[in-house]
Amino acid sequence: MTNELATGQEAEKRINALLWNGAMTRFVRIGSGALATIDDCISQCFQEKPVVIIADSSTYLAAGQAANERLHAAGRDVLDPFLFEEKDLYAEYRFVEQLETFLRGTDAIPIAVGSGTINDLTKLASHQTGRPYMVVGTAASMDGYTAFGASITRDGYKQTMACPAPLAVVIDLDVIANAPPGMNAAGYADLIAKVPAGADWILADWAGVEPIDPDAWGLVQPQLRTWLGDPAGIRRGDRTALAGLVEGLIMTGLGMQRANSSRPASGADHQFSHLWDMQHHTHHGATPLHGFKVAIGTLASAAMYEWVLAKQAEMIATSPSAIRDRWPSWDRTEQDVRSNFANGFLAEQVLNQCRTKYMESNVLGKRLERLKSQWDAVSSELSRQLLPAKQIQSMLADAGAPHTPEAIGISRTRLRTSFGQAQKIRSRYTILDFLLEAGWWDHCITDLFEPGGFFHGS
């Protein structure tokens, strides 16, 4: 880790210097003891408006109580805290409605004290009641603090709902360093996912599906290797390593703000996580952390890319007859979706995503010809972006994050099935789509799980 990332204050300065006119987030405070400045942050963003702490029992003890006491001591108009008491609290729409009902009874500015779940619930409820909010982070566990949109499960379907990011963010590194075991490792896993997610965006750009937004890309990718540079420090709770992790996660959120999309942060890696969310996956009676599920999705993405980059352009069969022979009809695609998603409502949501990206074989042929003719340049750019799957696995282990599917309760058999299901649940173009379109799907997935493949005993 370089001296440049030695303190939270330096990360804070870099972030605030990059906040553009029109950014949803206007003020970021990072550092040891940053919680002590909460009243000053509120004054800069909300002046003298009344405020209310939103937390659960754990995050209230971690930082909410101290924040509440400081605000009272400063003479601010503070409502009694709103605390979620549910043991099964997660980012589900019924909890948004619960908070929304409370907020409609007051004009107070919500202060979300927590990490992913509390932030997403407060973000959407604040938007739906027509007011800004701020967040006090309690763990460097995900990239959603400053992200546009909230990842919410509604009627069993995990989706990103449009809503503005917080006006202000306060991250106290002392609080972050004392987060429950695994929380910061989950954030590290969420951040390392930007490596294959970036590759997915590169691939989508070359395929003519979704051009790269250079401003959003520039907020995330240039310093990504630096932010990821000390995984063992994350496990130890080293403040310098955590400052880099926090900076990376916040910058990723800003990248999503800039793009008005989660594309700068999310590719096939997150589709595995969203799939397991929809399947209500638990391990030892609890839902694995978001970043832990993303970790396995990241390994899957990296392994697929390694397989693909070992292939030559001439192996992409682009003749109209070859494409017609292998490309499924829409009726077959619909049948496949319904057989993979037994819940009727969920199947309809997945079909909507599939319809968006489905194309006839003649249109697919043009896309594949485009990629084949430029394959040397495409594969070269992807190779520069990516890290080997084994290296990612080692970095995850050093940070204290899961690095095998069994660590989150996913068997190899289930993981193999998940590849096909994950490809269907989002319209976003990723390595999963390319494998299917190129006619390489069966060969690649088989190779990954057979002897010598990445998921055969890794």
Per-residue model confidence (pLDDT) at position 1: 39
Please give the pLDDT value at position 2: 42
Q: How far apart, in whole angstroms, are the C-alpha atoms of residue 420 and residue 406?
A: 19
Bridge-based pairing of strands 109-114 and 150-154 is: unpaired
Q: How many CB atoms lie within 10 A of CB 384?
A: 9
- The third-level CATH classification (topology) of the domain covering 266-449 is Dehydroquinate synthase-like, alpha domain (1.20.1090)
Distances 266 to 42, 195, 200, 424, 427 between C-alpha atoms, Å: 31, 10, 9, 15, 12
- The Cα–Cα gap between 120 and 145 comes to 8
Distance CA 423, CA 182 (A): 28
The phi, psi pair for 109, rounded to 5°, reads -80, 125
Going 260 to 92 to 116 to 62, the CA torsion angle's sign is positive
Q: What is the pLDDT of residue 7?
A: 66
Comparing C-alpha atoms, which of 144, 363, 98 is closest to residue 255? Answer: 144
Q: Do the Cβ atoms of 268 and 304 come closer than 8 Å?
A: yes
Q: What is the pLDDT of residue 157?
A: 86
Task: Find out whether 446 and 439 touch, Cβ atoms under 8 Å.
Answer: no
* 458 residues of the chain, pLDDT tens digit each: 344 344 688 999 999 999 999 899 999 999 999 999 999 999 999 989 999 999 999 999 999 999 999 999 999 999 999 999 988 888 999 999 999 999 999 999 999 999 999 999 999 999 999 999 999 999 999 999 999 999 999 988 888 999 999 999 999 999 999 999 899 999 999 999 999 999 999 999 999 999 999 999 999 999 999 999 999 999 999 999 999 999 999 999 999 999 999 999 999 999 999 999 999 999 999 999 999 999 999 999 999 999 999 999 999 999 999 999 999 999 999 999 999 998 889 999 999 999 999 999 999 999 999 999 999 999 999 999 999 999 999 999 999 999 999 999 999 999 999 999 999 999 999 999 999 999 999 999 999 999 999 999 76
Of the CA atoms within 13 Å of residue 42, those in its CB half-sphere come to 29
Residue 291 backbone phi and psi in degrees, to 5: -65, -30
- Parallel/antiparallel/unpaired status of strands 150-154 and 157-161: antiparallel
pLDDT at 9: 86
Question: pTM, whole model, 2 decimals?
Answer: 0.94
Q: For the beta carbon of residue 214, count every other beta carbon within 10 angstroms.
A: 9
Domain boundaries along the sequence of the chain: 3-180+217-233, 266-449
Name the nearest CA neighbour of 82 among 117, 111, 45, 46.
111
Q: From start to end of 93-165, where are the E strands? A: 109-114, 134-137, 150-154, 157-161
Q: What is the pLDDT of residue 303?
A: 98
- Degrees, nearest 5: CA angle 64-70-71: 90
Select the CATH number that applies to the domain covering 3-180+217-233 from these four: 3.40.50.1970, 3.40.50.300, 3.40.50.1950, 3.90.226.10.
3.40.50.1970
Identical fold at 3-180+217-233 and 266-449?
Answer: no
* Amino acid found at 134: M
